[in-house]
């Protein structure tokens, strides 16, 4: 298992190594690869995501996204990561811890996506494992939650494989592709860790 080397002085620009992948925060220079991958994967991703904006893949929207990410990282609200294949540094997807809650909760929500051409190669599973280590070992969270549409078999299988437990069904939990949709809720506790 790779060690997390993370600079707690504020330089959170480092990469965290995983099994065949590494993750790091998104940078301005990732724009072209990100827009290309997301554009080529539009039909694969949009059934499972909040509706894309008109200018979703524009450079201006990406700049706004990075500004929001920077504010959220600084405030400790979220930890967005892009996923790169270790062998050639190609961008293959993303994994984000959002809605990080401290106090008596010590919880975050997990989200993830893979570029269509890179799906089913183990990259997202490896990246989620890496981000879970970051969540539990570096952020010291107690719990990570995930929510998925009931018919999203790949996402549900991924969560079960990584030790999440199904905890319930939340009615009209998120607005996905423009529609309020029920979601299956999953959770993994720090002490659930098996990997």
Cα separation, 22 vs 181, in Å, equals 32
In the complex, the smallest distance separating the C-beta of residue 128 from ligand COA, rounded to whole angstroms, is 8
Mark the segment that binds ligand COA (CB under 6 A) among 11-19, 52-60, 108-116, 163-171. Answer: 108-116
In the complex, the smallest distance separating the C-beta of residue 145 from ligand COA, rounded to whole angstroms, is 11
Cα separation, 85 vs 87, in Å, equals 6
In the complex, the smallest distance separating the C-beta of residue 119 from ligand COA, rounded to whole angstroms, is 4
Query: Angle 31-40/59-75 helices, nearest 10 degrees?
Result: 110
Question: Which of 16, 21, 23, 45 forms a contact with ligand COA (CB under 6 A)?
Answer: 45
Task: Count the alpha carbons within 13 Å of 29 in the hemisphere toward its beta carbon.
Answer: 3
Question: Which of 76, 154, 168, 178 forms a contact with ligand COA (CB under 6 A)?
Answer: 154
Burial 91-129 (b: 16+ CB within 10 A, else e): bbbbbbbeebeeeeebbbebbbbbbbebbeeebbbbbbb
Residue with Cβ nearer ligand COA (62 or 113): 113
Instruction: Confirm or reject binding of residue 161 to ligand COA (CB under 6 A).
Output: yes
* Residue numbers at the binding site for ligand COA (CB under 6 A): 44-45, 48, 112-114, 119-125, 148, 152-155, 157-158, 161
């Amino acid at each position: 298992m790779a060690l997390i080397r993370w600079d707690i002085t504020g330089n959170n620009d480092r990469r965290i190594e995983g099994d065949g992948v590494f993750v790091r925060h998104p940078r301005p220079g990732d724009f072209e690869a990100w827009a290309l991958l997301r554009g080529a994967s539009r039909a694969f991703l949009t059934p499972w995501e909040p509706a894309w904006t008109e200018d979703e893949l524009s450079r201006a929207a990406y700049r706004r996204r990075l500004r929001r990410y920077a504010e959220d990282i600084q405030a400790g609200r979220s930890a967005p990561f892009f996923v790169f294949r270790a062998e050639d540094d190609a961008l293959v997807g993303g994994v984000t811890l959002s809605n990080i809650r401290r106090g008596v909760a010590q919880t975050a929500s997990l989200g993830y996506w893979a570029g269509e051409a890179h799906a089913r190669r183990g990259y997202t599973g490896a990246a989620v494992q890496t981000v879970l280590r970051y969540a539990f070992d570096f952020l010291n969270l107690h719990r990570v939650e995930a929510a998925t549409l009931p018919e999203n078999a790949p996402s549900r299988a991924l969560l079960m494989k990584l030790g999440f437990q199904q905890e319930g069904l939340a009615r009209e939990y998120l607005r996905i592709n423009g529609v309020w949709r029920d979601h299956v809720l999953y959770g993994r506790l720090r002490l659930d860790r098996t990997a």
